[in-house]
Amino acid sequence: MAGFLQWLASQRRDVLEGLNERIVELRKDFIDKAPHLHIATSLAQLLGRFEILLKFACDVGAIDSDVVNKLREKAHQALSKVGASSATRRSALRVSPKPIDSSAPAETSTAK
């Protein structure tokens, strides 16, 4: 953890500026897969931050660029499925409101 924080502190400005730009790019990928813009944004933020972790791991020699690309692609696919799943779940939960029958007697509760 300390190593990551030292790495991040040494390039904080570049990482943060790059992250914001990357999130905008990634959000475009997720917009069609998610039912709402805020979900697409959340998915883009997750992947953008994961990419920072991958860059750190690559920079310190823990993984190579081939592994970075594979993990990035797997994460993108998984988050795309999450977006699609939330869209499916939301449409399954849509229920038409039951019309109110104003001619029916009002329900009363008799507490004892």
Q: How far apart are CA 37 and CA 20, in angstroms?
A: 16
Model pLDDT, residue 41: 93
Task: Give the residue-averaged pLDDT of 107-112.
Answer: 54
Could you report the per-residue pLDDT of 52-83, keeping only the tens digit for each?
999 999 999 999 999 999 999 999 999 998 88
User: 43 CB contacts (<8 Å, ≥6 apart)?
Assistant: 26, 27, 30, 33, 34, 79, 80, 82, 83
Model pLDDT, residue 53: 95
Could you report the per-residue pLDDT of 16-57, keeping only the tens digit for each?
889 999 999 999 988 887 878 889 999 999 999 999 999 999
Could you report the per-residue pLDDT of 90-106, keeping only the tens digit for each?
554 444 455 555 565 55
The residue extents of the domains of the chain are: 10-93
pLDDT above 90 for 89: no
Model pLDDT, residue 93: 44
Q: What is the pTM of this model?
A: 0.72
Q: How far apart are CA 45 and CA 27, in angstroms?
A: 8
